[in-house]
Amino acid sequence: MKLRRYKGNAILTPIEEHEWESRAVFNCAAVYLNGKVHIVYRGMSKEDISQLGYAVSDDGFRIRERLVEPIYRPRGEIEKYGCEDPRISRVGDRLYLSYTAFGETPGMRAKVRKSIQIAMTSITIEDFLNRKWNWTAPYYPFPGVDDKGAVIFPEKINGRWVMYHRIPPHIWVAYSQDLRYWHNSDIALSPRYDWEYYKVGTGAPPIKTEYGWLIIYHAVDRRLTYRLGYAIVAIDDPTRVIYRHPEPILEPELEFETQGEVSNVVFTCGAVLIGDTVFVYYGGADTVICVATAKLDEFLMPVKLYGIL
């Protein structure tokens, strides 16, 4: 099973005239609302500061509109160097945005110590669609922990909210009663195959199917090549893997994936289900944004055929 690239890739590229996204655009969140795909992407300036921009597509492929200014900017010392790699999950009437806060460790006086950690904020769907960027104040689920890639499951499992996050080399799971305080963190997925040798990490937020949660993730091999893979985990247990695909579903092959700010990278933070098709949005070589698709049935076929339940 392989994702099929859109022939019109890349769908978003840097804009020289927009200083905040003049160097690179990549690693975007995606959410499907009111028949449109809304893309929140990472734009990077020539000073290596990342902010979050917005674009929208009517068909999932072609960009109809792209805003000139960022919709989310770094806040405070903890995010001094940028907001990176956004993911969005819909929970009720709100959208929860998680991202990597890249900044300085507060209170350090002898010398600056750069830090990365998970940050979260949210906004009502109404405000988001009306482009009233009333994001809540960010909070940090694991303060001071070198951590990335929080993805929130869109509904409770056994009465608790669930998060996947990435502390190398594993994908971890954590639980919450209120989407703010998280606990009981444990390993959910570890490297298994050679193309995952160095580490595995979160990708797009989980997509619910009748056979389990579809988890699209990234993996890094010995040569630091980034690829995409997928697994199906149980609806009622995010630690129980029903099926894990043994081969990558997308790997760097084309020039905009093999050459750029970071060569040989395909990396996803967002995927949406439209009808029977999964649209996977990914960064190519940390420089541009692309999209690739597959039928949902292709992801589920191994479970359907072999009944791995």
CATH number of residue 201's parent domain: 2.115.10.20
Q: What is the pTM of this model?
A: 0.96
Dump pLDDT digits (tens) for 181-209: 999 989 999 999 999 999 999 999 999 99
Q: What's the burial of 237, exposed, middle or buried (CB within 10 Å: 0-12/13-18/19+)?
A: middle
Domain that holds residue 263: 4-306
In the chain, the number of structural domains is: 1
Dump pLDDT digits (tens) for 28-71: 999 999 999 999 999 999 999 999 999 999 999 999 999 999 99
Dump pLDDT digits (tens) for 11-29: 999 999 999 999 999 999 9
Distance between CA 23 and CA 43 in Å, rounded? 8
Go through the chain and tell me how many residues it has: 309
Q: Give the phi and the psi of residue 174 in degrees, each rounded to 5.
A: -145, 165
Taking a C-beta distance cutoff of 8 angstroms, is the pair 291, 281 a contact? yes
pLDDT reported for residue 111: 63
Q: What's the burial of 62, exposed, middle or buried (CB within 10 Å: 0-12/13-18/19+)?
A: exposed
Distances, alpha carbon 237 to alpha carbons 39, 150, 156, 158, 202, in Å: 29, 18, 11, 8, 17
